[in-house]
Structure 1
Amino acid sequence: MPKSPQDLTQSLLSAAKAAGADSADAIALAGTAVSIDVRAGLLEQAERAEGSDIGLRVFVGKRSAIVSASDTSDHTIETMAARAVAMAREAPEDPCAGLADPDQLAADWDLAALELSDETAEPAPATLEDDARRAEAAALGHEGITQVQSASAAYSARDVWLAASNGFEGGYRRTSRSTSCVAIAGTGLGMERDYDGDSRTFQADLRSPEEIGHSAAERTLARLNPGKPKTGAYPVLFDERIAASLIGHLMAAANGAAVARGASWLMNAMGEQILPEGLSLIEDPHRPRASGSRPFDAEGLPTRKRAIIEHGVLKNWTLDLANARKLGLDPTGNAARSAGSGPSPTPWNLALTQGSHSRDDLIRAMGTGLIVTSMIGATINGNTGDYSRGAAGLWVENGEITGPVSGVTVAGNLRDMLPSIVPANDARLHLSRVVPSLLVEGLTLAGE
């Protein structure tokens, strides 16, 4: 009979102690994933994966090493522990390495309140195939859609368990159900494509396949026959689908690992105005049914709601234990890890203050400029905040959308861009990143 993730972590800790480790932590992951792809009304691919992964981190003094495996036999666990201890003894010392103190650990949590797992039965492959077919058929029902590149449906369930020699032990189960569709319109060099999709913790919350297919088709058709604007400085409205990327760049700069390395354009900005005064960026790892929710982090520390930016002012870095120690600060409960890697600081659910105006209001107010609906590539200088990305979207003249554009490069500096953003009120509240469309003035567009 296979061992449970909880039993596997205890076996790993026992093996580490027997091999000579001073302390250790272990993670065990066990899950199932099913995905179905259809094309032209026919089943194109069906995949199912079931398996377990285990990871062990050992400490010998201030030296550490990490090993992982997908084989969970007793022999493998013993071998892993012996190799990890041998590796740790050869590793360089790190004065910031080590487990959390017992008084730092999460002591209790309410898994039921987080609603991380849907108890509805796993969908049959035929059900997933039907979802994918329906999304594809909805997209193909639009005149001008020449093909659907992919229509997919998937389901996954995963059990996570973490244990450490400092006394921490805990776990949870997470589920996900998703549907997506990528549509293509036009022919030859005039082909355009776009997509839509939805992913939810609870299957009942998922948007219908028809809605996803229709949306993918409409977005694709709106991109046909694009032009290219004249090079210059214009206001740019980052569509809600894209706007979270700006906050992502901000969070990368507020990551404690980047700050500790001295490789962040926010390195000396703690307490400074980063966003407009009326905007706050709140992290809440306890939102029900959200993919970024956690009862505790990967080092056993409690997660908590916090203001990263409050009324425009930078208040917090995102910190795991090691980087908090390097910076002389308290950890924020943001450590994440896989079976084969050590903890690193990672933000959980984020929400930016929404504005009082609609997306259409911002379009009317922007005069002449670009609505960015998709982006490709990225050149972001982590030290300076210089920003350059390829973009496509819709051109606006006198507050009215006049047609699609593509082949545009949007450039600026994040330190200058972020304090001037104007948010709309169109953020989707179920996402892990709740960020509305964002209007930014005076960006450089490289076009014709």
Structure 2
Amino acid sequence: MDGDMTAPAGEAICEALLAAAKSAGAQSADAIAISGESLSADVRGARLEQAERAEGVDVGLRVLIGRRQATVSASDARPATIAALAERAVAMARVAPEDPWCGLADPGQLAASWDVAALDMLDPAGPPDPAALEDAARAAEAAALAVKGVTQAEGAGAAWSRRRIHLAASNGFSGGYARTTSSLYVSAIAGEGLGMERDHRAESRRRWASLPSAEEIGREAGERAVARLNPRRAPTGAWPVIYDRRIASSLMGHLLGAANGASVARGGSWAADLLGERVLPAGMDLVEEPLRPGAAASRPFDAEGLPVSERAFVRDGVLTSWVLDLASGRQLGMESTGNAMRGASSTPSPGTSNVRLTPGALSLEEMLAQVGTGLLVTSMIGASINATTGDYSRGASGFWIENGALAYPVNEITVAGNLKRMLAGLTAANDGDETKSAVVPSLLVEGLTVAGG
């Protein structure tokens, strides 16, 4: 089931961690082993700036004694380290405060089978030659510099990695999987002196051969930087704002964050009273797709060994479910939605994988024409978001829209509103990027407050 011939090493590490935990006095435990290897090459000024090859392993152990738990981790899987980790974890758990919601899954809740191969998470070609990484980074930088108006490249890089994850627990669960990621990026600078502007393009895929060409990535990075030259301030007032698809998924991230069961259980979510209520326009679904083949965040089971499946957290505009792991589900009197996430040094917590928002009928160009006058946001910095009220304020830059077309670049602006009202009145374009984990199209929000500085 692991889908990777080296997976038994992770399985053996987890078994050793569980055995050590039992010997040290744990009543129950789970363990995770994350190993990986990576290659990267960074180029600046057509010269290789850095090349790196790395391998490593991180292990994590959670032990439970009654309703007390503790988690420890290390970047070392030697037997002596495993024994010391288990002893430390048990000692910590004995003095930890009681948590009435912690605990492993019941055996009947566990994923019984899965098909890793169907998720298409591995590059069958294996790692690219390091020289190919360097050549791609150099070609991307050259393509950016070839764009008229680009004065320098801030850097370009290519990378490949393979990550293996194995999870096992004393309730009988044991499973693992591996995924590869290839990426290529370039950052370009246009203009001179105080008038310089920068932008970038970065792409990642499961397979190296599936990446867009270095020339395409470099050219678009350069064109984006040049388009930002000579920015102005946007007129202050209440205007329609279009979130370009590059950053539109951030709005869905705010919604899913508010629907996070841990936040709801703590009483720290602006959506705490919205279960079963409309949060998006009618006809709009927000669906998690953890089994989408080839996607960046696909996985065959969650971090507590529970099965995963497609789930609409919003159906026809209505919030249908919280995002739950076992602990938050118990606290709220609900079943886990199979959304536990975990790293080596942390206990499980709720989180989502790949998501998809229902697209609209308009292209971005048609949406610009419909807006007439307003703002297209292409990048954002900082955030001031009140988790309890949903009040929202972020720094932004992009382009001012006049007569239904892009008129001039703008920067140093702030957009503000309230997430409840913003999300309920969204209009979606039809330009979602199928290569991204979050397939979210450009989104129009009416009547945001724009402060032009």
Regarding TM over 0.5, the answer is yes
1:279 aligns with 2:265: no
Please point out which of 245, 269, 273 is paired with 1:264.
269
CA distance in 1, matches of 2:8, 2:305: 22
Please point out which of 337, 346, 365 is paired with 2:342.
337
CA distance in 2, matches of 1:29, 1:276: 40
3-state DSSP class of the match of 2:73? strand
3-state DSSP class of the match of 1:12? helix
Cα distance change on mapping 1:74 and 1:204 into 2, 3 Å = same
Give the corresponding residue for 2:182. Answer: 177
* CA drift at 1:219: 0.6
CA distance in 2, matches of 1:439, 1:100: 42
CA distance in 2, matches of 1:304, 1:143: 48
TM-superposition CA deviations, 1:198-246 (whole Å, max 9, x none): 1001222111111000000011110000011221000001001010011
Report how many aligned residue pairs link the two structures: 448
* CA drift at 1:150: 1.1
Q: Sequence identity, in percent?
A: 58
3-state DSSP class of the match of 2:423? helix
1:105 aligns with 2:147: no
* CA drift at 1:148: 0.5
3-state DSSP class of the match of 1:160? strand
Residues 7, 164 of structure 2: 8 Å contact kept: no
> Gaps spanning 5+ residues in structure 1: where?
none
Aligned-partner residue type, residue 4 of structure 1: A
The 4+ residue runs of structure 1 with deviation greater than 2 A are none
Please point out which of 336, 355, 362 is paired with 1:357.
362
3-state DSSP class of the match of 1:149? strand
Residues 203-282 of structure 1 mapped to structure 2, 5 A cutoff: 203-282=208-287
3-state DSSP class of the match of 1:270? coil
**Structure 2 length-normalised TM:** 0.98
CA distance in 2, matches of 1:236, 1:383: 24
CA distance in 2, matches of 1:211, 1:74: 49
1:398 aligns with 2:418: no
Residues 68, 97 of structure 2: 8 Å contact kept: yes
Residues 304, 340 of structure 2: 8 Å contact kept: yes
* CA drift at 1:3: 7.7
3-state DSSP class of the match of 1:331? coil
TM-superposition CA deviations, 1:154-183 (whole Å, max 9, x none): 000011100000000000011000000100
CA distance in 1, matches of 2:39, 2:388: 41
CA distance in 1, matches of 2:343, 2:288: 22
Please point out which of 43, 48, 55 is paired with 1:43.
48
1:64 aligns with 2:69: yes
Give the corresponding residue for 1:380. Answer: 385
Cα distance change on mapping 1:2 and 1:158 into 2, 3 Å = closer
Residues 58, 73 of structure 2: 8 Å contact kept: yes
Please point out which of 117, 120, 125 is paired with 1:120.
125
CA distance in 2, matches of 1:23, 1:417: 45
Give the corresponding residue for 2:20. Answer: 15
Alpha-carbon RMSD across the aligned residues, in angstroms, is: 1.1
CA distance in 1, matches of 2:50, 2:387: 40
* CA drift at 1:2: 12
> Gaps spanning 5+ residues in structure 2: where?
1-5
438-447 or 396-405, larger mean C-alpha shift: 396-405
Cα distance change on mapping 1:419 and 1:2 into 2, 3 Å = closer
Residues 287-436 of structure 1 mapped to structure 2, 5 A cutoff: 287-436=292-441
CA distance in 2, matches of 1:47, 1:249: 35
Aligned-partner residue type, residue 10 of structure 1: E
CA distance in 1, matches of 2:395, 2:159: 30
**Structure 1 length-normalised TM:** 0.99
3-state DSSP class of the match of 1:66? strand
